[in-house]
A and B are shown apart, each in its own frame.
Chain A
């Protein structure tokens, strides 16, 4: 029970940090689930995160994996509700207020100000992920390859990511 409450508190808090995208919460996700609570190891977290990139739907549904690993199906359910419900209610409320906010002179300032901070948070998340994932020449080359391919073509991102995984297996086997 204590564990479910901890899961709910941690993921409820993390959901508030996802301004601009789920990656913004990654540094805090790592420090809480790996360093503070020891629910997963850093490689496990990275592996779930990467699998989450392949799954359909919102990109942070991987939080369900952490909940499931800690406390089975109830864990997954608690984490999902804690991660989605509070911000969902907030969005719902603000969505209904929006028309009244339309002429608020501070609105563009808030939008632009939070915009740069959220890009900064995504960058921080990327740095934390890269520190764990880019450990040798092969992984650096894969990251650059995926980046180049996605910048230059309209290919579905799942394809180069799966391809990276297959290259990883192929090089392990030879």
Chain B
């Protein structure tokens, strides 16, 4: 598998000058309000790289790799990192605010709406069926993430070990994360004379 197959190699677009703080906030607010269906990273790339041209693809992929290795939601982390590149810490703050505000407002409103109509059997039927659909979506995310992140048999073993510990043996997530994480990092430890295999950080599907 060519790890870099997903990186577009077309002619490099010129990068536009950084936006004002207000323009930056509006852009992230727009992306935060329109990125329906969980594919926020795809919307971010389309917006920041193709539409506004504030970042080039290389920078976007670089920031993406940092976002995925750290705790925090991918879309929020990406907003913070690209906001910081464009406008320093105020940029990071307003980018994250714009990204989260629409979804957070909607979900807060949803809590009040469900609180009112929560026992209605029709909305229960609707929500339960949506939850089933969401299981399908999570499986897709899993397949895509797995294809990008997992390289050798040992990686799959770490996946299964983590999932069994957490979902079946009810080991606290933090313990599993630190325990299996340390084991997996040790497995991939830098060895003399072997170049580390690159990880494909380009990620454009569902986060």
Contact B136 A116 (CB under 8 A): no
Cα A44 to Cα B146 in complex, Å, equals 29
Residues of B within 8 A of A25 (CB): 173
Q: Which chain B residues (100-138) contact chain A, with CB distance < 8 Å?
A: 100-104, 106-108, 110-112, 114-115, 118, 121-122, 124-138
Contact with A along B126-166 (1 / 0, CB 8 A): 11111111111111111101100111000110111111011
Cβ of A19 < 8 Å from any Cβ of B? yes
Contact A88 B72 (CB under 8 A): yes
Q: In the complex, what residue of chain A is closest to B183 when comparing beta carbons?
A: A113
Find A119's partner among B84, B106, B159, B187 (CB 8 Å cutoff). Answer: B159
Q: With A44-B114, A113-B181, A143-B136 given, is the CB distance from A158 to B131 under 8 Å? A: no
Q: In the complex, what residue of chain A is closest to B36 when comparing beta carbons?
A: A158
Measured CB to CB, the closest approach of chain A to B159, in angstroms, equals: 4
Give the A interface residue count (CB, 8 A). Answer: 113
Find A108's partner among B114, B139, B197, B207 (CB 8 Å cutoff). Answer: B197
Residues of A within 8 A of B114 (CB): 44, 47-48, 51, 65, 69
Contact B137 A150 (CB under 8 A): yes
Cα A108 to Cα B110 in complex, Å, equals 41
Give the interface residue-count category, chain B. 35 or more
Q: Which chain A residues (118-155) contact chain B, with CB distance < 8 Å?
A: 118-130, 132-135, 138-140, 142-151
Measured CB to CB, the closest approach of chain A to B189, in angstroms, equals: 5
Contact B150 A58 (CB under 8 A): no
Cβ of A167 < 8 Å from any Cβ of B? yes
Q: Which chain A residues (50-92) contact chain B, with CB distance < 8 Å?
A: 50-69, 73, 76, 80, 84, 87-88, 90-92
B residues bordering A, Cβ < 8 Å?
A: 32-40, 62-63, 65-77, 80-81, 84, 89, 92, 96, 99-104, 106-108, 110-112, 114-115, 118, 121-122, 124-143, 145-146, 149-151, 155-156, 158-163, 165-168, 170, 172-174, 176-177, 180-190, 196-199, 206-207
A residues bordering B, Cβ < 8 Å?
A: 13, 15-25, 27-28, 31, 43-44, 46-69, 73, 76, 80, 84, 87-88, 90-92, 94-96, 98, 105-106, 108-130, 132-135, 138-140, 142-151, 156-169, 171-173
**Nearest 10 CB-CB pairs, A to B?**
A168-B129, A120-B162, A146-B136, A57-B103, A87-B72, A164-B133, A158-B37, A113-B185, A113-B184, A68-B111
